[in-house]
Amino acid sequence: MLRAYSVLVYLFLYGPIALIVLFSFNSGLSAADFQGFSLKWYAKVAGNSLMLDALRTSFTVAFSSAALATIMGTMAALALQRVKGPVRVIFDGLTYIAIMVPGIVIGIATLIALVTTFEAANTILAQIWPGDAPPQLHMGYGSIIAAHTLFSMALVIVIVRARMAGMDRSLIEASMDLYADPWATFRQVTLPQLAPAIMAGFLLCFTFSFDDFVIAFFVAGPLNTLPIYVFSSIRRGVTPEINAIGTAIMMFSLVMLFSAQVLLRRASAPRKA
């Protein structure tokens, strides 16, 4: 009975996804009436310039925020290993707050903080700028990337620190004993051991940013990311084109997730000497 129930749960989990994939190949116009196999919706998606712009924006944002978050998060994790006391407590607290506060609150808080700051900065710039057209600060790539980097960085700190906790300290000590300077030890011992966790962190950050709607919705300004584009298309009505976009997005996240899993598995597997 337990087995039958579990099968039902898997059907529940995968049925809706399967339905989206199936109907993305529907040759009919209607979203919910399967008429035959066709790739025409994919062709239509490939020619949709609004969608392609959104896709490009999402890629830029996801890549930049993941790269920034991975670098800063790894740096913080390396440093936190060496500090104790209040600094560590504060960083731990901030990391958990960044992960725990709902995206919607982060989005709104960032929006009003940036709008207020930009307004003040633009007023000052207008006064001190020698030319006629002072530069204006506004929402856009910078604000989305910065906001996504916050959450992603916290994620990287958690992942890399978990990996450090399971790391073999004796190798570092051996390297020191053999008179390698700290930088050589880091480059030749610490970094290779951390690399899979860092890569996995990058991929997870990329996936998060690529998928995020709520934070981007507030801080994107005039830009459309892919989730924002999909959200507004759904509002206009359900079409087979959305099924095709959805299928493509899911396939892409699966590839990213799978790569992250492989890397993390390699990271947690015992290393052979």
Partner 1 sequence: MSAGADAIAAPATAQRKQSGRLLTALLLAPSALWFFVLLILPLAVVLIYSVGVRAPAGGYQAAFTFDNYLNLPARWTAFKNTLTLAPLGTLICLLAGYPLAYFLAVKSSARWRVLLLILVIVPFWTSFLIRTYAWIFILGGRGIPALLDSIGIPDVRLINTPFAVMCGIVYAYLPLMVFPIYVSLEKLDKRLLEASEDLGAGPFATFRQITLPLSAPGIITGCMLVFILLMGEYLIPQMLGGGKVFFIGNALVDLFLQSLNWPYGSAVAMALVAIMLVTVSLYLRATAATGGRRDASLI
SS3 19: helix
If the CB atoms of residues 53 and 92 are measured against partner 1, the closer one turns out to be 92
If the CB atoms of residues 31 and 137 are measured against partner 1, the closer one turns out to be 31
Q: Is 192 near partner 1 (CB under 8 A)?
A: no
Q: Is 139 near partner 1 (CB under 8 A)?
A: no
If the CB atoms of residues 97 and 129 are measured against partner 1, the closer one turns out to be 97
Q: Is 2 near partner 1 (CB under 8 A)?
A: yes
Interface positions, 194-233, toward partner 1 (CB under 8 A): 200, 204, 207, 211, 213-214, 218, 227, 230-231
Please list, in sequence order, all residues whose beta carbon lies within 8 angstroms of the beta carbon of residue 246, skipping any fewer than 6 positions away. 20, 24, 230
Rounded Cα distance between 199 and 205, Å, is 10
Structure tokens at 262: 């492989």
Given candidates 52, 67, 121, 162, which one binds partner 1 under the rule CB under 8 A?
162
Residue 26: phi and psi, rounded to 5, are: -75, 130
If the CB atoms of residues 61 and 200 are measured against partner 1, the closer one turns out to be 200
* Total residues binding partner 1 (CB under 8 A): 79
Query: What amino acid is encoded at 33 in this protein?
Result: D
Give least dist CB 105 to partner 1, A. 5
* Structure-derived torsion over alpha carbons of residues 183, 185, 187, 192, reported in degrees to the nearest 10: -160
Query: What amino acid is encoded at 121 in this protein?
Result: A
Structure tokens at 209: 């940013």
If the CB atoms of residues 63 and 91 are measured against partner 1, the closer one turns out to be 91
Q: Is 23 near partner 1 (CB under 8 A)?
A: yes
Interface positions, 57-116, toward partner 1 (CB under 8 A): 71-73, 75-76, 78-80, 82-83, 87, 91, 94, 97-98, 100-106, 108-114, 116
Q: Is 50 near partner 1 (CB under 8 A)?
A: no
Kindly state the DSSP code that residue 213 receives in the 8-state scheme: -
> DSSP string spanning 101-165?
S-HHHHHHHHHHHHHHHHHHHHHHHHHH-SSSS-----SSHHHHHHHHHHHHHHHHHHHHHHHHH
